[in-house]
Amino acid sequence: MSSGLPSVTTVLGAEDVQRALTRIAHEVVERSRGAADVVLLGVPTRGVPLAHRLAERLASIDPAFDPTAALGELDVTMYRDDLRRNPTRAVGVTRLPAVGIDDKIVVLVDDVLFSGRTIRAALDAISDLGRPRAVRLAALVDRGHRELPIRPDFVGKNLPTSTSERVLVRLAEIDGEPDAVLISGRDPKGDAR
Amino acid sequence: MKHLLSTQDLSLDEAILVLDTAAQMAATQSREIKKLPTLRGRTVVNLFFEDSTRTRISFETAAKRLSADVINFSAKGSSVSKGESLKDTALTLHAMGADAVVVRHWASGAPHQLAHSGWLGSGDSPVAVLNAGDGTHQHPTQALLDAFTIRRHLVGRAGGATGDGVGRDLKGLRVAIVGDVLHSRVARSNVQLLRTLGADVTLVAPPTLLPVGVETWPCATSYDLDETLAHWAPDAVMMLRVQRERMSGGAGAFFPSPLEYSRRYGLDHRRLAMLPGHTVVMHPGPMNRGLEISAEAADSTRSVIVEQVANGVAVRMAALYLLLAGGSPAEGSAI
Tens-digit pLDDT profile for residues B107-131: 999 999 999 988 888 766 679 999 9
Q: Which domain holds residue B68?
A: 3-137+310-326
The answer to whether residue A30 sits within a structural domain is yes
pLDDT in tens, B303-324: 999 999 999 999 999 999 999 9
Beta-carbon separation of A88 and B27 below 8 A: no
The answer to whether residue A160 sits within a structural domain is yes
B128 and B10, same structural domain?
yes
The answer to whether residue B335 sits within a structural domain is no
Backbone angles phi, psi at A137, to 5 degrees: -130, 125
For residue A125, give how far its alpha carbon lies from the nearest alpha carbon of chain B (Å): 9
Whether B171 has a pLDDT exceeding 80, the answer reads: yes
- Chain B, residues 132-191, CB within 8 A of chain A, namely none
Q: How far is CA B88 from the centre of its chain?
A: 28
Average pLDDT over residues B18-27: 95
pTM of this structure:
0.91
B285 and B149, same structural domain?
yes
- Confidence grade of residue B333 (pLDDT, cut at 50, 70, 90): very low
Residue B118: give its domain's CATH number.
3.40.50.1370
Whether B334 has a pLDDT exceeding 50, the answer reads: no
First vs last C-alpha separation in chain B: 4
The answer to whether residue B158 sits within a structural domain is yes
Residues near B245 by beta carbon (within 8 Å), at least 6 away in sequence: none
B90/A contact by beta carbon, under 8 A: no
B251 and B213, same structural domain?
yes
What is the distance between the alpha carbons of residues A110 and A91, in angstroms, rounded to a whole number?
17
- Confidence grade of residue B326 (pLDDT, cut at 50, 70, 90): confident
Whether A1 has a pLDDT exceeding 70, the answer reads: no
**What is the interface size between A and B, counted as CB pairs within 8 Å?**
60
Domain count, chain A: 1
Binding site annotation covers B332? no
Whether A81 has a pLDDT exceeding 50, the answer reads: yes
Q: Of the spans A20-34, A84-98, B76-90, B254-268, which averages the highest pLDDT? A: A20-34
B179 and B277, same structural domain?
yes
Binding site annotation covers B139? yes
What per-residue confidence (pLDDT) applies to B245? Answer: 66
Neighbours of B256 (CB within 10 A): 11
**A interface residues, B as partner, C-beta within 8 Å:** 75, 78-79, 83-94, 124, 128-130
Average pLDDT over residues A181-191: 74
B169 and B286, same structural domain?
yes
What per-residue confidence (pLDDT) applies to A126? Answer: 96
The answer to whether residue B318 sits within a structural domain is yes
Identity of residue B284: P
What is the distance between the alpha carbons of residues A20 and A156, in angstroms, rounded to a whole number?
5
Give the closest of B17, B37, B332 to A124, CB-based.
B37
Beta-carbon separation of A84 and B326 below 8 A: yes
- Confidence grade of residue B329 (pLDDT, cut at 50, 70, 90): very low
B299 and B318, same structural domain?
no
Asked which of A12-16, A85-89, B306-310 is least confident by mean pLDDT, the reply is A85-89
> What is the β-pairing status of strands A180-186 and A166-170?
antiparallel
- Confidence grade of residue B335 (pLDDT, cut at 50, 70, 90): very low
B279 and B146, same structural domain?
yes
Domain count, chain B: 2
Percent of residues, chain B, with pLDDT higher than 70: 92
B207 and B190, same structural domain?
yes
Cα–Cα distance list, B333 to A89, B34, B99, B323 (Å):
10, 28, 19, 11
Strand-by-strand arrangement of the A154-158 sheet: A71-73, A38-42, A105-113, A134-142, A154-158
B45 and B178, same structural domain?
no
The C-alpha torsion from B162 through A44 and A155 to A62, rounded to 10°, is -10
What is the distance between the alpha carbons of residues B317 and B61, in angstroms, rounded to a whole number?
9
To the nearest whole number, what is the mean pLDDT of chain B?
90
Whether B330 has a pLDDT exceeding 50, the answer reads: no
Please list the active-site residues of B.
54-55, 82, 104, 139
pLDDT in tens, B190-235: 999 999 999 999 999 999 999 999 999 999 999 999 999 999 999 9
pLDDT in tens, A32-41: 999 999 999 9
Give the closest of A83, A129, A130 to B38, CB-based.
A83
The answer to whether residue B93 sits within a structural domain is yes
The answer to whether residue B89 sits within a structural domain is yes
- The sign of the dihedral angle between the CA atoms of A27, A31, A33, A39 is negative
Which chain A residue shows the shortest CA-CA distance from B323?
A88
What per-residue confidence (pLDDT) applies to B165? Answer: 84
The answer to whether residue A148 sits within a structural domain is yes
What per-residue confidence (pLDDT) applies to B257? Answer: 85
What is the distance between the alpha carbons of residues B135 and B104, in angstroms, rounded to a whole number?
8
ipTM of the complex: 0.86
Q: Which residues of chain B make contact with A86, given a CB cutoff of 8 A?
A: 326-327
B275 and B245, same structural domain?
yes
What per-residue confidence (pLDDT) applies to B253? Answer: 82
Residue B316, CB half-sphere, CA atoms under 13 Å: how many? 31
What per-residue confidence (pLDDT) applies to B222? Answer: 96
Residue A102: give its domain's CATH number.
3.40.50.2020
The answer to whether residue B333 sits within a structural domain is no
The answer to whether residue A52 sits within a structural domain is yes
Binding site annotation covers B216? no
Sequence-ordered alpha helix ranges (H) in chain A: 14-32, 47-61, 117-129, 172-175
Identity of residue B334: A
Q: Which domain holds residue A62?
A: 14-83+90-164
